[in-house]
A and B are shown apart, each in its own frame.
Chain A
Amino acid sequence: MRKGSAGSSGQGLRLWLLAALASLLLLPWYGLEGGLPGGWHAARPALLEALSGGRLWLLPLAPPLLLAAWAAWARSSGALVAAGLAGIAWLLVEAFGLRAHGLRLEGLAALLEGSAAQPALGWGALLYALSCLMLCAHGLAWRGWCKGEVFLIGAIGIVCGSILVFVGYPVACVLVSAFQDNEGAFDLLLFAGKITDASIWSLDCLAGGRHCGVAWNSLAQAVLVGVLSTLLGLAFALVATRTRFPFPRLLRIMSVLPVITPPFVIGLALILIFGRAGIVSSLLQDWFDIRRSRWLYGMPGLTIAQLLAFTPISFLVLQGVLQGVSPSMEEASQTLRSGRWRTFRLVTWPLIRPGLANAFLIAFIESLADFGNPIMIGGNFQVLSTSIYFAVVGAAHDQGQAAVLAIVLLVFTLSAFLLQRFWIGRRSYVTVSGKGDAGLPLPLAPWLHRACLAIVLPWLALTAAVYGIILVGGFVKAIGQDNSLTLDHFLTAFAIEQGPHGWFLAGSAWNSLTTTLMVAVLAMPLTAALGILTGYLLNRQSFAGRATFEFLTMMSFAIPGTVIGISYILAFNVPPLELTGTALIMVIAFVFRNMPVGIRASIANLSQVDRSLDEASLTLGARSAATLRRVILPILRPAIATSMVYAFVRAITSVSAVIFLVSGEYNLATVYIVGRAEFGEFGIAIVYSAVLIVIMVAALLSIQALVGERRIGRRKATEAAGSRRPAAAGA
C-alpha cells in the first residue's frame, strides 16, 4: 500500500496562492501609525492604495503572483521559485527604497516623485512576504530540495527570515548608525572620533585622575567578577561533589535562585543591607559608632551584587565539570604510584582547566552585559551598558554615541563568546559515557576542605540574608530605620478597591504587572516553538549553510540586552517596520533573545534520541511534519518545558533590553521597579520584586506539572522486571 498523500502539496500551493492574493486585495497593506497591530480603519489593501491612493509602485507586487499561478498550473518549479523571489525582492526594494529616513534609493524615489514617505508595513505586507516565501518553498520542493518536503523548506525559510529581520537587521542598523552623523550622512571621521573618545578609553584613574573610560571600567569589572565568581563557584562545586556536605538541597536551591531573580533585585537588597541607610550600616553606627558611608555604591557593591548573581551559574558549570572527571581516572593515577597532590596536579587539574576557563568566560560575558545591577548600585561608576542607556534617555539623546558604545560592548562580548566557543569548546575533555564508572572521587585535602567551607558557609549566609530581605523587606515601614511591620507598600502597589463600578485594580503596580504577564505569556509559546523548530532543523536536517545558521543563532545569545534594546529602537522606530510603542516589540525582543535556550535544550535532547526513530517514522509513511508532531515533540517534552519556563521567567526578569522599548501604555514590572528604586521608594520596589519571585516560582512549578515528565521509562521498575523475566525466557 502506498503511504502518505502526495496530493496535499498541490492543495497547499493553492492555499498559499490564495493567501498571497488576499494579502494584496483584502488585508490593509500599511499598518499606519503604531505598526502592525494598529489601524484597521482607514487602512486599505495594496491594490486600492495603488489605484486610488496613487502609490503606483505597489502594482509590481501583482505580476509575481500571476507568474506563480501560471507556474502552479504548468508545474514549472523554476518559474515558481522565481515568482516567490521576485515578490519578496520587490517588497524589500519598494519598502526600503522609498522612505523618508535612513537608507533609500534616491533614483527610485526621484522616479516616483511625490511618493516620499510611506507608512509602516501592515498585515497585508506580512502575509504577502510569507506567501511568497512559501511559493518559493513549493518550487524548491518540486526541485527535490530537502527530499521534496515543503514543510522543511518553509520552516527553514521562516526561521532564517525571522532571524534576519529581528536580529540581523537591527544589529546592522546599529553598525550603520554608528557611522552616521545626526543628519544621516556617512561620516568616517566622526566615527573615528567617537570610537576613540576619552570617555570610553581614558586611563586617567591610573594616573590619579577621577574617572577611567567606560570601556576599561567594564573590562576591569568583568575580569574581576569572572575570576572571583569562578573561584567561588569552584569552592561550591568542590563542596558539592567532593565532600559529604550535609545540606545538598541548599546548594540546589541556591543554583536555581538567579533564574527566578530579576538581576537588579540583588543590588536593591544589598542597598537595604549595606547602603548608607541599610540595616548593617545602622547597626554599626549604633553599636560601634562607625560612620555611615557610601562605599557600597560603585565597584565594590557592584562586584558583590554580580558575584551573588553569577556565582550560581559558575557553580553549575563547574559542578558538571567536576562530575565529568571520572573517579576511575584519579584511582588509576593513584595505582600508578602518584600521591594525592601529584594526581591533582597531573590529572585532575588539566581535566578541569577548560571548565574553569569556560566558567570564567560565562561570568565575564554576563558581567559585561549586566545592566540592572550597575544602574541600581553602580553610583558614579559607569560601565558600557549604563552609558548606552544614558546616551539614549539622558539629556544628550545621542543615538550615534549609543551605537558606538554598543559596538564596543558587542565586540567585547562577541570576542569572549568566540573564544569560549572555538578555543575552550574544543578543549573540553568532559565526556559522558554510557558506562557507569564505579569508584569514589578523591577526598579533598583537609586544608582545602576547611578553606572551601570557610568560603561557602558565609556566602550561603549572605545569600540567605539577601533573599530574606527581599521577601520581608517590603512589609516593614522603612527597613533599617523603622522596622515596624506594615502592609502599606503592598497596598500601594497591589490594592484592589471597590469603586462605584465594582471592584477595580487600584494599586500602582497592576498596570505594569498585567502587561508583564501578558507579554510573558505571549512570548512563552512563541519562544519555545521557534527555538525547538530551529533546534530540530539544526540537529535533524542538513541543508546548505547549516553551520553558519547554527553559529549565527548561537551568537545572538551573546548580544547584550542593552545592545538589543538600542538596536530595536534604531531599527523599528521608523517605517517600513514601525513597532516601537507597542507590546508586540517587547514580545519579539523576548522571543529572539531567549530562543537560543530552546535551541540548546532541544539539540541536547535530540542528540540523545537515535535518528533511526525519525527514519522509522518516515518509512512508515509519516512525512516530516507528522514525524515532528507525533514522534519528536513527545520525546522533546523536557526541552519544551525548559524553554517555556526560561522564556516565561526571562520575559519577567529581563530589564536591559526592554527598558528602551517600554512606553507609557505598555510598562513592564522590572522597569517600574527600577524607576521606584531610583526615586528611593525601596518599599514598593522590594515588595514588587517579592511578588514577581513568588509568581515565577508558581509558574515554574505549574509549567513543569503541565508539560509533565517523559513517559518513556519503565512505568514501574518492579512490575516491569517481574514481567520481563518469564517473557525473556520464553522469547
Chain B
Amino acid sequence: MNQILPGQPRPAPALAATRPAVEFRGVVKRYGPVTAVPGLDFTIARGTLVTLLGPSGCGKTTTLRMIAGLESASEGQILIGGEDVTPLSAAERDVSMVFQSYALFPHMTVMENVCYGLRASGLRRAEAEAMAAEKLATVGLSGFERRLPSELSGGQQQRVAVARAIVLEPKVLLFDEPLSNLDAKLRRRVRADIRDLQQKLGLTVVYVTHDQEEALAVSDRIIVMRGGCIVQDGSPRDLYERPGNRFIADFIGNANLLPVLLRRLDDSLAEFSIGALRLTLPHRGLPDGAAELAVRPQCLGLRPGAAAAGELPGHLRKAAYLGDHLEYEVVLDGSGTELLLKRPVEGALIPEGSAVAVSIDPAGAVVVPA
C-alpha cells in the first residue's frame, strides 16, 4: 500500500480525516472455552492519547494486542482509520507498538533496530537510515546508532523502542505498560516525554497501564476495563471526580466508601446521612434509600477527642509518617467502616488507639452507584 516518504504529502482524503483512528465493533475474544473479552465497542479519535486502564487480567493488554493484530478477534470488527483490518495480520496493519520489555533485537545495533520496519516495507538503506537518524534525534539518542541494545541503559532502550515505532509514522501507536521496567524517578520523566512527543507529532496513541496515576497524568481519555468489559470511559477529570461506580472510585481515587442514606431534595441535590452527620450533595440520579459515598483520603478531616455535631466518632488504628504527609487508618464506631486518611504534616502524630472525630469535606465526596 502507500508508503509515506519524506517530502511527499500525507494522503488525507477528506472522509478519512473525520473517521476515528480505531474503532471496535462488538469485538469478542475467546481462548478455547474461556472468554477473555465478552464484547467491546469503542472508538478512539485521531490525535488523542487514550489509556486502557485496569487491574491485571482485565483484558486491556488483549485489547491492545487485538489492535496490533497480534491476537485475532473471535468475533466482531476492528477498524483502523475507517478501514476494516480484522482479517489482517500484524505485519499488514498500519500500527506500531512499544513493548513492555521493549523487545529490541539484541543482535542488531540501535540503528539497525530503528531501520528494521522501514527496511521491511522496502525502503533503501540510505533512506531508511536518514529517517531513523531523524527519529533518533527526536528521542534524543543521536550518537548512539552503533550501540547494541545491551550497551544502553533502561531509559535509553525505552527511547530506542519508541523511535523504532514512530519512525514508521503509523496510524496508531501502541504502548504496552512502557514504564514498568523503569525506576520511579525515570518513570515521571519518560511519561512526560511520551506525552510531549504525542502532542508534538499529533500521534494517535493507545496506552495500556495498570497505574492510575500514570493514566491520569498522560491521557486525554481513559477507558477503565474490568473482566474484559469497559467500566467507564471518560476524561481523567471525569473519572476522578465523577466515578461511575465504587470500583472506579476505589481504583482511580483510592477513595473511602461509606454507606449512607440518600434523601432527594430536588432535581439535583440530595441529603446524605451517615449516623449524625448530614451532607448536601448532587444525587446523580440515584433514588432514595441506601447508597455509597466515595470520599477521597485527603478530604477527610481528623482531630483527637470525642465527636461533636457534624463529625463521626471513631478510633485510630494506625498512624504512619510518610514524609510529605501523614497516613491514618480509622475504624468508625458503630458501623466498623475502615477509613484511610491522608493529612498534611502538622504537629505530632495522634497516638494509635485513641478516640478520634472524623469530618468530611463535601468537595471531596461524591455518591456512587453501588
Contacts and interface: CB of A to CB of B under 8 A. Distances in A.
Interface of A: 1-6, 144, 147-149, 610, 612-613, 615-623, 626, 630-631, 634-635, 710-715, 720, 723-724, 727-728, 731
B120 A713 contact: no
Nearest to A710: B107
B74 to A, nearest CB: 12
A620 B92 contact: no
B87 A712 contact: no
Contacts of A1: 1-4, 94, 121, 168-170
Contacts of B186: 731
A620 B116 contact: yes
Contacts, number: 139
B156 interface: yes
A275 to B, nearest CB: 53
A4 B92 contact: yes
Contacts of B275: none
Contacts of A2: 1-3, 92, 94, 121
Contacts of B96: 619-620
B350 to A, nearest CB: 42
B92 A720 contact: no
Interface in B106-133: 106-107, 116-117, 120-122
Nearest to B90: A618
Given A144-B87, A619-B97, A620-B116, A631 B105 contact: yes
A620 B106 contact: no
A150 B105 CA distance: 25
B280 interface: no
Contacts of B154: 728, 731
Contacts of B94: 1-3
Interface in B146-180: 147-148, 150-156, 164-165, 168-170, 174
Nearest to A711: B107
A628 to B, nearest CB: 12
B95 interface: yes
B164 A620 contact: yes
Given A621-B92, A714-B150, 10 more contacts: A2-B2, A3-B92, A147-B69, A148-B89, A619-B97, A621-B121, A621-B168, A626-B120, A728-B153, A731-B156
Interface string B38-77: 0000000000000000000000000000001110100000
Contact of B120 (A6, A615, A622, A712): A622
Given A1-B4, A612-B100, A619-B95, A727 B156 contact: yes
B247 interface: no
B265 interface: no
A4 B91 contact: yes
B107 A728 contact: no
B239 to A, nearest CB: 29
Contact of A715 (B91, B151, B153): B151
B91 A621 contact: yes
A4 B120 contact: yes
A2 to B, nearest CB: 3
Interface residues of B, number: 49
B103 interface: yes
B101 interface: yes
A154 to B, nearest CB: 15
Nearest to B100: A612
A141 to B, nearest CB: 10
6 contacts: A1-B169, A148-B87, A148-B88, A724-B151, A728-B153, A731-B153
B261 to A, nearest CB: 52
B339 to A, nearest CB: 39
A727 B106 contact: no
A715 B116 CA distance: 21
B251 interface: no
A684 to B, nearest CB: 47
B2 A3 contact: no
Nearest to A637: B107
A615 B70 contact: yes
Contacts of B106: 613, 635, 712
A619 B148 contact: no
Given A1-B169, A631-B105, A619 B151 contact: no
A704 B96 CA distance: 37
* Chain A CB within 10 Å, residue with most, of B1, B4, B164: B1
A618 B89 contact: yes
A616 B176 CA distance: 12
A623 B70 contact: no
A724 B103 contact: no
Given A4-B92, A616-B99, A711-B107, A727 B153 contact: yes
Contacts of A714: 148, 150-151
A4 B99 contact: no
A169 to B, nearest CB: 33
A144 B103 contact: no
Contact of B69 (A144, A618, A727): A618
A620 B95 CA distance: 8
Contact of B148 (A610, A613, A712): A712
Contacts of A3: 91-94, 117, 120-121, 168
B152 A615 contact: no
Contacts of B117: 3, 620-622
A613 B70 CA distance: 12
B99 A615 contact: yes
B120 A616 contact: no
Interface string B249-269: 000000000000000000000
A724 B150 CA distance: 10
A635 B107 contact: yes
B156 A144 contact: no
A725 to B, nearest CB: 9
A459 to B, nearest CB: 42
B103 A612 contact: yes
Contacts of B155: 728, 731
* Chain B CB within 10 Å, residue with most, of A715, A723, A731: A731
* Top 6 A-B pairs, shortest CB-CB distance: A2-B1, A620-B117, A731-B155, A616-B103, A612-B103, A618-B90
A700 to B, nearest CB: 24
A712 B107 contact: yes
A635 B1 CA distance: 31
Contacts of B69: 147, 618-619
Contacts of A720: 150-151
A712 B72 CA distance: 32
A618 B121 contact: no
Nearest to A731: B155
A612 to B, nearest CB: 4
A148 B107 CA distance: 28
Contacts of B150: 712-714, 720
A152 B178 CA distance: 30
B122 A620 contact: no
Contacts of B105: 613, 616-617, 631
A620 B167 CA distance: 10
Given A712-B148, A713-B150, A615 B121 contact: no
A458 B253 CA distance: 74
A713 B100 CA distance: 20
Contact of A622 (B99, B116, B153): B116
Contact of A618 (B70, B87, B101, B168): B70
B110 to A, nearest CB: 12
Contacts of A612: 99-101, 103
Nearest to A615: B70
Contacts of B168: 1, 3, 620-621
A618 B72 CA distance: 14
Contacts of B147: 723
